[in-house]
């Protein structure tokens, strides 16, 4: 194996959404990552969610969504970048350091980590990941450092906002990660009130078509399916206790 690579393949953990507003969430996350890091290298990818909306409101900007993604003009991009690559990124790094986990914060721009193309004219400066530079992530993992990645990325004409679920899936696929975990506020995908332990790509697509999987769960499931389709061994949707316990809904090819 390349000497800059860790002995075992990393786990990519995506966090974001409403959970980050819950008091104590970052410290609980750090404890869960501390436990995981003892067994396998971890990479965190995070969004910003409500924190971005709050800053936009303070700046007199309105959050606009199209097809589930944040429409990002130049003014919105400035707010998104401040929250993701600044406030949230450093809160997570600080929590990890307090938990005894060596961590380094970086964005998709740093060291050319994530290169994107424009997603759609309707979304403004929102990017789709077309290349992941894996060497910096492997180097940090080999040093037992947890990379904490903000999905602000570089593309034609400057920086772009990238959906954190998509960024995590692209990173996991490029690294051929051991697995990708999408941490949400529910312990997995519910069907008839019960958490389903395992779903194949076909089964998950059928549940979306039937409306059983709906709302905000759809983009998470689609990101998990995309990661598996691109070669990640398995992807899991879980909550923070499930991340620590190794439970949730596992997606396999």
Question: What's the Cα-to-Cα distance from 11 to each of 75, 89, 134, 232, rounded to whole Å?
Answer: 34, 18, 14, 10
Three-state secondary-structure class, residue 163: coil
Around 253, how many Cα atoms within 13 Å sit in the side-chain half-sphere? 9
Q: Find the radius of gyration of the CA atoms of the chain.
A: 17
Q: Is the pLDDT of residue 154 over 90?
A: yes
Separation of alpha carbons 103 and 6, rounded Å: 15
For residue 244, give the nearest of 24, 28, 20 by alpha carbon.
28
Q: What is the pLDDT of residues 85-109, one digit of tens each?
A: 999 999 999 999 999 999 999 999 9
Q: Is the pLDDT of residue 222 over 70?
A: yes
Residue 117 makes CB contacts below 8 A (sequence gap 6+) with 127, 128, 130, 155, 156
pLDDT at 157: 95
User: Which two structure tokens, joined as six digits, stand for 188?
Assistant: 């997995």
Which residue segments constitute the domains of the chain, with CATH numbers given? 11-187+221-247 (3.40.1160.10)
Whether the model pTM is above 0.85 = yes
Q: What is the mean pLDDT of residues 183-188?
A: 90
Mean of the per-residue pLDDT values of the chain:
92
């Amino acid at each position: 194996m390349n000497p800059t690579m860790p002995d075992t393949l990393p786990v990519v953990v995506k966090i974001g959404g409403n959970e980050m507003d819950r008091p104590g969430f970052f410290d609980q996350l750090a404890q869960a990552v501390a436990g995981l890091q003892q067994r396998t290298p971890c990479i965190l990818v995070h969004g910003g969610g409500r924190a971005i909306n709050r800053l936009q409101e303070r700046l007199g900007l309105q959050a606009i969504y199209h097809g589930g993604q944040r429409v990002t003009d130049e003014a919105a991009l400035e707010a998104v970048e401040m929250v993701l690559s600044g406030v949230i990124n450093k809160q997570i790094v600080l929590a990890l350091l307090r938990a005894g986990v060596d961590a380094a914060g970086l964005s998709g721009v740093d060291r050319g980590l994530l290169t994107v193309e424009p997603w759609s004219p309707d979304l403004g400066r929102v990017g789709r990941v077309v290349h992941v530079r894996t060497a910096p992530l492997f180097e940090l993992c080999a040093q037992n450092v947890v990379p904490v990645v903000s999905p602000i990325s570089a593309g034609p004409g400057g920086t772009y906002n990238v959906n954190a679920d998509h960024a995590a899936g692209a990173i996991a696929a490029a690294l051929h990660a051991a697995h990708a975990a999408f941490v949400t506020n529910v312990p997995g995908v519910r069907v008839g009130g019960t958490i389903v332990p395992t779903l194949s790509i076909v089964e998950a697509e059928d549940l979306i078509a039937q409306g059983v999987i709906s709302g905000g769960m759809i983009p998470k499931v689609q990101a998990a399916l995309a990661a598996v389709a691109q070669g990640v061994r398995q992807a899991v949707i879980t909550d923070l206790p499930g991340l620590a316990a190794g439970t949730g809904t596992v997606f396999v090819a």
